């Protein structure tokens, strides 16, 4: 089947180095701090290997700490402004389980870990995904200090997730997570920013 389609497919593929860097599939990440340490390490590797922005995320089984799906920012290499780390992790996780809904009855409960607090888009994506808990490293203020615009979230974004049955925990390894953001800036890499439209 090589018939020509008028519009291209959008495809997001994790960088190959992830397969080498990740511990084997049996590894269990017991504590929130263990899970976040992996995510922060992926954000650092994504920076160092030049495969995208300094952001990573992952979906874990809450109970036993098994990694279901990692994600890294792929905006530049994939030519896709949607390809933030959280979005990539959620999309890959849903491919792994074969459903758009990670809260389906026979599945274990899943947590989303994000090296930096979600931007407005990723915040909005969380309730649709079936994730039951969100754990964040660096804060919006840390991303903005480096020059990223995280967009307009509702004032009480944490409360609005909790109202939808999604727990939120913040500031897990915030320091190390924020350090990766600063390293990205110090390396002189692209800080893409939608408010550039204003200064044009």
Query: Is the dihedral angle over the CA atoms 30, 31, 35, 41 positive or is it negative?
Result: negative
Q: Segment near its own copies (CB under 8 A), from 37-45, 91-99, 135-143, 169-177? A: 91-99
Q: Which of 63, 95, 144, 175 is close enough to bind its own copies by CB under 8 A?
A: 95
Is 86 marked active-site? yes
Any residues with CB less than 8 A from the CB of 31 and at least 6 apart, and which?
Answer: 65
Distance separating alpha carbons of residues 200 and 195, to the nearest angstrom: 9
Per-position x/- string for 103-132, each x denoting binding to its own copies as judged by CB under 8 A, each - no binding: x---------------xxxxxxx-xxxx-x
Determine how many CB atoms are found less than 10 A away from the CB of residue 124.
15
Distance separating alpha carbons of residues 126 and 103, to the nearest angstrom: 12
Which is catalytic among the residues 26, 41, 48, 86?
A: 86
Tell the smallest beta-carbon distance from residue 86 to its own copies (Å). 10
Which residue do the tokens 């899970």 mark? 35
Distance separating alpha carbons of residues 108 and 65, to the nearest angstrom: 11
Cβ closest to its own copies, residue 98 vs residue 188: 98
Kindly compute the dihedral angle of the four CA atoms of residues 157, 144, 91, 154, in this order, to the nearest 10 degrees: 20
42 is a contact residue toward its own copies (CB under 8 A): no
Residues near its own copies, by CB under 8 A: 5-14, 16, 18-19, 22, 25, 69-70, 75-76, 78-83, 87-88, 90-92, 94-101, 103, 119-125, 127-130, 132, 149, 151-155, 157, 160, 163-166, 192, 194-198, 200
């Amino acid at each position: 089947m090589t018939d020509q389609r008028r519009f291209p497919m959008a495809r997001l593929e994790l960088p190959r180095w992830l397969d080498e860097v990740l511990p084997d599939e049996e590894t269990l990440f017991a504590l929130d701090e263990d899970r976040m340490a992996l995510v922060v390490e992926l954000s650092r590797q994504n920076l160092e290997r030049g495969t995208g922005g300094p952001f990573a995320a992952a979906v874990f089984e809450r109970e036993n700490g098994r990694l279901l799906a990692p994600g890294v920012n792929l905006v530049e290499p994939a030519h896709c402004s949607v390809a933030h780390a959280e979005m990539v992790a959620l999309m890959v996780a849903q491919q792994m389980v074969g459903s758009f809904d990670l809260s389906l009855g026979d599945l274990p409960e899943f947590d989303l870990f994000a090296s930096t607090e979600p931007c407005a888009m990723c915040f909005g994506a969380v309730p649709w995904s079936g994730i039951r808990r969100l754990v964040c490293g660096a804060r919006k203020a840390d991303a903005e200090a480096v020059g990223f615009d995280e967009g307009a979230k509702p004032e009480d974004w944490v409360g609005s997730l909790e109202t939808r049955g999604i727990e939120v925990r913040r500031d897990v390894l915030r320091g190390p997570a924020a350090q990766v953001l600063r390293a990205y800036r110090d390396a002189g890499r692209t800080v893409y920013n939608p408010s550039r439209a204003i200064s044009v």
